[in-house]
Structure 1
Amino acid sequence: MRSRLAMLLRGFGVAGVLALTACAGVQTTQSGAIGINRTQYMSSMVPESQLRQEAETQYEQVIAQARTQGKLDRNASQVKRVQTITNKLVAQAGIFRPEAVNWPWEVHVISSDEVNAWCMPGGKIAVYTGLLDKIKPTDAELAAVLGHEIAHALREHARERVSQQMVTNVGLTILAAVTGSKATADLGSSLTSVMFTLPNSREHETEADRMGVELAARAGYDPRAAVTLWQKMAQAGGGGQPEFLSTHPSPASRSADLQQAAAQVMPLYEAARR
């Protein structure tokens, strides 16, 4: 009897996986001058609106905690600088995704020694003072960082990764039903994992690099600053390296790719400066 039940559950599990985790091919952004054309696959289990709502909730929690700890937006000049650069980049986001210009964008500076910045789905951004104080980026270099993070949001890299994780979790849940063990699949924990624990894939990082360079150029920031920015990032922390660099190619490979991308969008930068 138990063997027959297991066989039925396995059969149901296969059908369930196919039904619940069906992934559709989408183009989240237009290609831009830089030419981002990869088809992405999103699970029906991870609706864009639901993920954005979860992202907004988590962002509010992070901001509330920083405010309670006295770590939120402590330096007015830093905050103004970050907001000014962010606004210029967001104004160019429509090149890749027209509706993104109207997203409820928000950016705060959090006092932390960590050399990091991130952008949640839907445009919720945080910059840590460790990035500003240790790297000491120029405005153009800071635009490269923020453009990179904004590109992740425009491209819905988090949703793509959560889709992959949820598909895996459903498979584990079905296996658990057959074996009698426990497994769960939760959208909120999956988002937390891909945003703050698991590193981005090399493919996602490369796309964000290239899109970020174009956003910066169109906003009037020298795209070549991305090269010097990532060189500074590679040198930060002595023997260690910031979260940004956890899965990317070697500094030499990254510099070569960024130099090529910067050269490609230089006409956009020159036009923006006129």
Structure 2
Amino acid sequence: MKKFKQLAVCVSLFAAIGGVGAQDKTVVQDGISVTPLSRSRVLIPEAQLNEAAAQQYTQMMGEAQQKGALVPASHPEVRRLRAIAQRIIPHAPRWNQNASQWKWQVNLIDSKDVNAFCMPGGRIGFFSGILTQLKLTDDEVAAVMGHEIAHALREHSREKMAKQGMTSMGARVGGALISGIFGVDPGITGAVANQAGQLLVLKFSRNEEREADLVGLDISSRAGYDPRAGITLWRKMAALSKRAPIELLSTHPGGETRIKDMEEHMNVLLPLYARAKGTTAAKLPPYRTNVSLR
């Protein structure tokens, strides 16, 4: 406990003097421009962050199970999610070598919420609403999953917590991870929120969202999923949000600029997908989704 308090003081002081922050320069990896991982990350030890995330993920899944909302492993949609993850995960260490040691988990919660998340350490959660309301193809599921995994790989939440100078960890870290970053249904995580007290509200920046989009499509393309599905996914999101607000869009802002970024990187992403399919980008057929977007 003493170490946690000392760490919190260091973070607060460091933030106060302006020492915490991401580096401004960018680097290009695999054709994608990213900001180097911030030095401020060291103020939030990865092992402790992953442990807190693991505890809160376990608690969240336990609560969902008690409420009959945790979809069993035998369900076709759970099998589908885990099969897609099994193909994507081997490509994750390209962007963060520590990912090869993460304790990956994939679960599905029965909820109308249009949302998904990946906690630090590789703990993935989908809400059934994102599958049913958007009628996602496997390629589109891979785009969602790749995006959320990319946030974890790029350690966006870890950096954000360091920037904001957290004054405590433990339960607050877990609560912030679930409620603040991932927009998880408070009806499921109410008990966690009550224990956590006042939660941090962490929303990713435009640049972090761009990184997650492109890094996510990089790893899903290498796994053999069509990156053009990312464009269709966000158009589906936009169409649905016109009828009703989507929680995912409150923490993951959409927009034509975002789609344009993806389109501008298809010259990098499509060859990766084509190679995984044993062909060339020139021979790929047009991407077709399963619903009309008009």
What TM-score do you get using the length of structure 1 for normalisation? 0.80
Corresponding letter in the other structure for 1:202: R
Mapped contact 1:233–1:241 kept (Cα < 8 A): no
5 Å-filtered alignment, 1:52-91, equals 52-74=50-72, 76-91=75-90
C-alpha spacing 1:54/1:252, structure 2 compared with 1 (3 Å) = same
1:119 alignment partner in structure 2: 118
Corresponding letter in the other structure for 1:32: D
1:192 alignment partner in structure 2: 175
1:221 alignment partner in structure 2: 225
- Per the TM alignment, residue 201 of structure 1 is displaced from its structure 2 partner at its CA by 1.9
2:101 alignment partner in structure 1: 102
Distance in 2 separating the partners of 1:137 and 1:268? 22
Secondary structure of 2:32 counterpart: coil
- Per the TM alignment, residue 80 of structure 1 is displaced from its structure 2 partner at its CA by 0.5
1:216-247 alpha-carbon deviations (Å, 9 max, x no partner): 11000110110000111122243443233226
Mapped contact 1:83–1:107 kept (Cα < 8 A): yes
Would you say 1:271 and 2:293 are equivalent positions?
A: no
Distance in 2 separating the partners of 1:19 and 1:156? 18
- Per the TM alignment, residue 70 of structure 1 is displaced from its structure 2 partner at its CA by 1.1
Runs of 5+ consecutive residues of structure 1 not aligned to the other structure: 1-12, 171-184
What TM-score do you get using the length of structure 2 for normalisation? 0.74
- Per the TM alignment, residue 94 of structure 1 is displaced from its structure 2 partner at its CA by 1.9
Distance in 2 separating the partners of 1:208 and 1:240? 24
C-alpha spacing 1:94/1:190, structure 2 compared with 1 (3 Å) = closer
The range that moved more, 85-94 or 254-263, is 254-263
Aligned partner of 1:236 among 235, 240, 258: 240
Distance in 2 separating the partners of 1:106 and 1:250? 27
Runs of 5+ consecutive residues of structure 2 not aligned to the other structure: 1-8, 181-200, 279-294
Distance in 2 separating the partners of 1:196 and 1:61? 13
C-alpha spacing 1:259/1:25, structure 2 compared with 1 (3 Å) = closer
1:138-182 alpha-carbon deviations (Å, 9 max, x no partner): 1101100000000011111111111122x2x55xxxxxxxxxxxx
Mapped contact 2:91–2:219 kept (Cα < 8 A): yes
C-alpha spacing 1:194/1:98, structure 2 compared with 1 (3 Å) = closer
C-alpha spacing 1:87/1:33, structure 2 compared with 1 (3 Å) = farther
State, as a whole percentage, how many aligned pairs show the same letter: 36
Aligned partner of 1:17 among 13, 16, 36: 13
